């Protein structure tokens, strides 16, 4: 598997279940995981419901894939996307797929791609069913990219307000998730690299995102909780600093009585 920044990705968008206004932010997010070598959007472009997509398709060089709705109540678009995804998978040219939809119909597709050893990044609204979220290696909510799911609005909104320290510390599930990840990645002195912590958290909870709590980065979330020590280390000249974290309880346990 190629490293994240060199990964070759196929971005497949279910236009029936994704808002056109989020495309720019979506592709910017995709760029943090690799390069989108294929960008396709699926839908019935002869209708009026996808009218807002035209400008985004042209601006972002996304290939529209036409799929007529053969009968009412049956989503032919989903089938077309799945068939294309399998065709692309069999070429062996990609390191991962980005599936953009809030539809649980793609749960098996995500699982099948992962079975082949490729990484699956899911993108959808918070209403996305949990089975699809869990089937992905990483799932990013569109709301964390600046999308509002409020009725009649598909415009960028202000970032999520930062959750207070008190509320972060009072979120037992979050605290346990962070502490267990730090412990699993820690050395004998209790220090753990932030990247490793993030990987462990994502494996346990694919939709975990510091932005859900109003923080841009995991390090900011850890610092805001005040439960961890953070240490920024430079490992060599010209190399970027690496952030390490340690549960403050480890320090107190190691101090002599």
pLDDT for 74-109, tens place per residue? 477 888 899 999 999 999 999 999 999 998 889 999
Q: Radius of gyration of the chain from Cα atoms?
A: 20
Task: Name the DSSP class of 147.
Answer: B
Sign of CA dihedral 26, 27, 28, 34: positive
pLDDT at 38 over 70: yes
pLDDT of residue 189: 92
- CATH fourth-level superfamily of 4-145: 5'-nuclease (3.40.50.1010)
Listed by start position, the domains of the chain span 4-145, 165-254
- Confirm whether 4-145 and 165-254 share one CATH topology: no
Other CB atoms within 10 Å distance of the CB of residue 102: 23
Residue count (the chain)? 257
Task: Domain 165-254: give its CATH code.
Answer: 3.30.420.610
Give the least confident one: 37-46, 61-70, 155-164.
155-164
Give the least confident one: 51-60, 68-77, 217-226.
68-77
Each residue of 204-220: pLDDT tens digit? 999 999 999 999 999 99
pTM above 0.95, yes or no: no
Q: What separation in angstroms does the CA of 35 have from each of 4, 31, 39, 56, 189? A: 9, 6, 10, 18, 38
Give the least confident one: 48-57, 121-130, 198-207.
48-57
Strands 192-193 and 242-247: antiparallel
- At 41, the pLDDT band (50, 70, 90 cuts) reads very high
């Amino acid at each position: 598997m190629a490293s994240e920044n060199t990964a070759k990705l196929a971005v497949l968008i279910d236009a029936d279940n994704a808002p056109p206004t989020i495309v720019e932010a979506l592709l910017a997010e995709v760029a943090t995981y690799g390069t989108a070598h294929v960008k396709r959007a699926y839908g019935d472009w002869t209708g009026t419901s996808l009218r807002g997509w035209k400008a985004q398709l042209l601006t972002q060089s996304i290939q529209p894939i036409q799929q007529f709705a053969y009968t009412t109540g049956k989503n032919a678009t989903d089938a077309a996307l799945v068939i294309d995804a399998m065709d692309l998978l069999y070429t062996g040219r990609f390191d991962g797929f980005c599936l953009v939809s809030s539809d649980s119909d793609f749960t098996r597709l995500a699982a099948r791609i992962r079975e082949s050893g490729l990484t699956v990044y899911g993108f959808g609204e918070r209403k996305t069913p949990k089975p699809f979220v869990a089937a992905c290696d990483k799932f990013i909510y569109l709301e964390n990219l600046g999308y509002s799911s409020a009725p009649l609005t598909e415009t960028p909104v202000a970032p999520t307000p930062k959750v207070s320290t008190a509320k972060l510390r009072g979120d037992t599930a979050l605290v346990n998730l962070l502490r267990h990840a730090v412990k699993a990645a820690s050395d004998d002195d209790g220090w753990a690299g932030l990247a490793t912590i993030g990987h462990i958290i994502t494996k346990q909870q694919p939709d975990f995102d510091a932005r859900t709590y109003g923080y841009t980065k995991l390090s900011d979330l850890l610092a805001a909780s005040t439960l961890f020590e953070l240490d920024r280390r430079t490992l060599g000249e010209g190399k970027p600093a690496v952030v390490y974290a340690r549960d403050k309880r480890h320090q107190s346990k190691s101090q002599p009585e």
